Amino acid sequence: MTRKLSLTVDGKNVAVHLHKGDLPANVAFSGPIAVDSETMGLSLVRDPLCLVQLSDGGSEAHLVQLDRASYDAPNLKRILADPNRLKLFHFARFDLAMFMRDLSVVCAPVYCTKVASKLVRTYTDKHGLKDLTKEVLGRDISKEQQSSDWGAPELSDAQLAYAASDVLHLHALKERLDAMLAREGRTEIAQSCFDFLPTRSALDLAGWEETDIFAHQ
């Protein structure tokens, strides 16, 4: 079941498609896809995955409200695991762990704007999506609905607009961050970090969440 809404997201009019259960088979994306997810909380043990948002960089967002009893979403899973489709995230490490745990898919290949930001914006410790988007793109985004009840059967328009917002700036961020990575000679090390992310998420799920296995101690 799909509902199409026209919502104001960060001051712009955006077509938001809310799908219950799975992405319809006929939804076509072009190029890399920005992906984000919403959960009941930040615990990899306790908090279930509720919503997955996708956008191919246009002014549309597709939101998949998952059936938490089955997580039966073959079309969504196929896209997340598609080796020929780059997925853009902000802090991929968490979303990838959730996808592994609840959807049983390894999401790859990926690009993470938070990792890229940490590798080039060494002059700041503000790497949250709001601060990054403000500095790099000059755009203001709202984080007001971040802590809200994503497990509710009916999500509010404010929640849907917030969820869509999180995938609408990642393509532009990638473009700017890629230029900064190239300028600083860090493109290759960034790529190696992105390639390692599914393993980092697997370590989180396997009990090494708080441990840096590369640390001396």
CB of 2 within 8 A of CB of 17? Answer: yes
Helices (H), 71-144: 74-81, 92-98, 113-120, 129-137
Question: Contact region for Mn ion (CB under 5 A) — 18-26, 65-73, 104-112, 161-169?
Answer: 161-169
Choose which of 22, 36, 95, 204 interacts with Mn ion (CB under 5 A): 36
Q: Should residue 166 be labelled a site residue for Mn ion when binding is judged by CB under 5 A?
A: yes
Nearer to Mn ion, 17 or 181 (CB): 17
- Measure the CA–CA gap between 208 and 112, rounded to whole angstroms: 20
Question: Contact region for Mn ion (CB under 5 A) — 99-107, 110-118, 164-172, 183-191?
Answer: 164-172
Nearer to Mn ion, 143 or 183 (CB): 143
Q: Should residue 95 be labelled a site residue for Mn ion when binding is judged by CB under 5 A?
A: no
- Measure the CA–CA gap between 61 and 213, rounded to whole angstroms: 37
Q: Which residue's beta carbon is nearest to the bound Mn ion? A: 166
- Measure the CA–CA gap between 32 and 111, rounded to whole angstroms: 10
Question: Contact region for Mn ion (CB under 5 A) — 80-88, 165-173, 193-201, 208-216?
Answer: 165-173
- Measure the CA–CA gap between 204 and 149, rounded to whole angstroms: 24
Nearer to Mn ion, 22 or 166 (CB): 166
Please, what is the Cα angle at 43 between 86 and 41, to 5 degrees?
Answer: 85
Which residues contribute to the site for Mn ion (CB under 5 A)? Answer: 36, 166
